[in-house]
A and B are shown apart, each in its own frame.
Chain A
């Protein structure tokens, strides 16, 4: 099962106008489960997942186009 923070980050990285009611409910439920862990004593329970920098996103997009090419393919 994926960590709640990663699931929340993925949903929140999408255009909110594209989110369904169920997507929002999922965000709410994941945040509530975070809070339960905080109440149980984990002061880092609500730490958001790191957001990718714009440079990282550009690199990932470029790599997805190139794929597994290497010098041997030239």
Chain B
């Protein structure tokens, strides 16, 4: 087994035969993008040696806003909650040295350098504060569940057919004319009508709505998306709602199950076809060079540019 094939730790979402039974939007989208991509990323855990700044930035931004509403529900004032999330974001974007126990050593290290001219530590903090300022009079209110708890930070695992489980994490349920899941997105592009079109059939939005309807016994109609355009000199916000009818969700379910069964079959056979129509999408797949190399040289290219890291495990609580 090469160092590119090592798995790290027991995986909750895979059975004893290595077949994935617990799926989420990320796993599903990876397979739908390209079965070979799914093999590289989800089954072999291959990660680019240069972690995607977009994933890091987007993750920190969404986590900050999720925690803001959680702090409000805990009784903090808006200013106190803002201070907490800004402090956390500053700490999370400071590259400390760590002691033997893995704790940050105060006074060590320095600020994260994203190596990107727009998505930086500074624009992250700016975007968080500007979002809260922009939506300070927001009409979207956090739903209070029947158990009295606010509908924030909601992880779910839904049983589907054939032993499949569909997992996910909802940042927040809100009341905004109707009950909606709220999601945060960041983009380098202007948020135009064209930008919103990508969500019309988006797996993640369908999955959120499906889960919202079933799990929380509420009439969740869709997802409210707050999109932030990140530019060097500003962050601009736009909001839109994507709806899903019951018929659309039934269709999504059938489509999802078909892809999952196909992925499991490919895994059982150890054969993953390549979707050659996806190679150039979104700036180009990170495996494009390796995939296009002769098989004789491919392993070396993968070893040079990728590292086998922690595999994505949908059932693992984050």
**Interface residues of A, Cβ cutoff 8 Å to B:** 8-9, 12-13, 15-19, 21, 24-25, 27-28, 31-32, 34-35, 38, 42-48, 51
In the complex, which of the residues A8, A18, A46, A47 contacts B130, with contact meaning CB atoms closer than 8 Å?
A46
B104 surroundings in chain A (CB, below 8 A) = 17
Instruction: Establish whether residues A47 and B107, one from each chain, have CB atoms under 8 Å apart when the complex forms.
Output: no
Closest-by-CB residue of A relative to B90 is A16
Instruction: Establish whether residues A51 and B111, one from each chain, have CB atoms under 8 Å apart when the complex forms.
Output: yes
In the complex, which of the residues B83, B107, B109, B235 contacts A25, with contact meaning CB atoms closer than 8 Å?
B83
CA distance A25 to B233 in the complex (A): 21
Please indicate which of the listed interface residues A15, A24, A45 has the most CB atoms of chain B within 10 Å of its own CB.
Answer: A15
Instruction: Establish whether residues A24 and B107, one from each chain, have CB atoms under 8 Å apart when the complex forms.
Output: no
CA distance A34 to B94 in the complex (A): 23
Closest-by-CB residue of B relative to A15 is B107
B122 surroundings in chain A (CB, below 8 A) = 8-9, 12, 48, 51
Question: Which residues from 57 to 83 on chain B have a C-beta closer than 8 Å to any C-beta of chain A?
Answer: 79, 82-83
Question: Which residues from 119 to 173 on chain B have a C-beta closer than 8 Å to any C-beta of chain A?
Answer: 120-123, 125-126, 129-130, 133-134
Instruction: Establish whether residues B87 and A47, one from each chain, have CB atoms under 8 Å apart when the complex forms.
Output: no
Query: In whole Å, how far is A34's beta carbon from the nearest beta carbon of chain B?
Result: 7
Instruction: Establish whether residues B86 and A47, one from each chain, have CB atoms under 8 Å apart when the complex forms.
Output: no
Given contacts A27-B125, A46-B126, A48-B126, contact A21 B83 (CB under 8 A): yes
